């Protein structure tokens, strides 16, 4: 399974924000927890339905989105 397969975008779930597979936890939620200083272990303890690969998928999703944004000419 590709890490990005763990991220799903569905119009009816969290207003179409990218979410971790079969949850309502958004990529943004996970990134904000990490930015606030939570460790991977803290996040996994708070959300037992998540796996370590889900957190890595969020990071990869954000990196891919950033790369796409930077590839457009100014």
**3-68: which CATH number, 2.60.40.420, 1.10.3720.10, 1.10.10.10, 3.40.980.10?**
1.10.10.10
Band of residue 53 on the pLDDT scale cut at 50, 70, 90: very high
What percent of the chain has pLDDT above 90?
A: 84
**Which residue(s) pair with 8 in the sheet?**
19
Residues 6+ apart with CB under 8 A from 59: 31, 34
What DSSP string describes 5-50?
Answer: GGEE--TTSGGG--EETTSS-BHHHHHHHHHTT--HHHHHHH-TT-
Closest CA to 27 of 53, 3, 61, 63: 61
The pTM of the full predicted model, rounded to 2 decimals, is 0.87
Supply the pLDDT for residue 60. 96
């Amino acid at each position: 399974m590709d890490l990005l397969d763990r991220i799903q975008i569905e119009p009816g779930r969290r207003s179409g924000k990218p979410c971790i597979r079969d949850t309502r936890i958004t990529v943004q939620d996970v990134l904000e927890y990490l930015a606030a200083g939570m460790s991977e272990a803290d996040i996994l303890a708070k959300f037992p339905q998540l796996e370590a690969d889900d957190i890595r998928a969020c990071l990869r999703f954000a990196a891919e989105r950033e790369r796409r944004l930077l590839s457009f000419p100014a």
